[in-house]
Amino acid sequence: MDKKINSKDLNGVYKDIADNISMDVAVKFHENFGGLQITFPKHFYSTEYVVNQIKNEFTGNNFRELAKKYNYSERWIRELIRRD
């Protein structure tokens, strides 16, 4: 890679990655994933992790707090607790 290149010289998402993370990461993304269409999940944590955390953190009435913390609906949290 030419050392004189900066993020404004990059295309689309590579520019965003270089601006927000680093040029090296943008290059690695291109080398490893160039040409692929990638979709990132909305939820950061795995469902299994969230279920365990909610079970551990549930105090009896903190549905809203847990829903906000883990980015799930309050209804989903209630259903999870009800099933357990």
Across the chain, what does the average pLDDT equal?
92
Residue ranges per structural domain of the chain: 1-40, 47-83
DSSP per-residue string spanning 15-79: HHHHHHT-HHHHHHHHHHHTT------S-SS-HHHHHHHHHHH--SS-HHHHHHHHT--HHHHHH
**Mean predicted confidence (pLDDT) in 34-58:** 93
Which tokens sit at 17?
């990655």
- What is the maximum span of the chain, computed from C-alpha positions, in angstroms? 58
What is the Cβ-side half-sphere exposure of residue 26, based on CA atoms within 13 angstroms? 20
Kindly report, residue by residue over 6-32, the tens digit of the pLDDT.
Answer: 899 999 999 999 999 999 999 999 999
